[in-house]
Amino acid sequence: MSKAEKTKQFIIEKTATLFNTKGYTSTSLSDITEATGLTKGSIYGNFENKDAVALEVYKYNAGSLSKSMSRSFGDEFPTATDKLHAFVDFYRKNWNSVFLSGGCPLMNAATEADDTFPLLKNQVTRSFQEWISKISKVITQGQKNGELNTKANAGEYASLFIMLTEGGILLSKTTGDQKFLNLALDKVLNIIEQELNIIPS
């Protein structure tokens, strides 16, 4: 990496939790300089403006979550059901780390992704589409393997899993009580076992 690239990465990493906690629109340039110890001139020497920093930080936060979550869909888990269970386990086991960093970056950014920041809205939309696609592929593969119900609409179930999980995160983050996320994840597991599996348990 060049010196400029290293500085950009430093700014992104140092402000990742700040943006996710305080908000992508609410975080000020002064907040960024305080978090990084750099001058405003240095920030603007590497990014066109604050929104450019916010977009890169969102990509970093969303990418980190996607990388961690994608491990659930790796070869370590041989069947589609195993992969879906691992997806649920990821959120159950990583409650503390997700919440200490401000919560789910997709959900946080989605609440700000309105017409005042269309570039962020586009990024968030892309993130959710990629997330739906990953889960859909796992379900589709399970259907091809004769493991999961072929009548199930993979895209609809993937979307439902995301809605339940994000809703659970929202309530748990707001109240500080993990039980709401656990309730949502229990529901996802129930759907996997009772509606997606060929032989319900």
* 61-196 carries CATH number 1.10.599.10: no
Structure-model confidence comparison of residues 42 and 1, the more confident one: 42
For 48-194, strand residue ranges (E) read none
Structure-model confidence comparison of residues 4 and 193, the more confident one: 193
CA distance 42 to 79: 49
Question: What is the DSSP code (8-state) at residue 151?
Answer: T
CA distance 175 to 35: 27
Domain ranges of the chain: 61-196
Provide the pLDDT confidence category of residue 191 given band limits of 50, 70 and 90: very high
Backbone angles phi, psi at 101, to 5 degrees: -95, 10
CA distance 138 to 49: 39
Read off the pLDDT of residues 21-70 as tens digits, 9 standing for 90 and up: 998 888 999 999 999 999 999 999 999 999 999 999 999 999 998 988 88
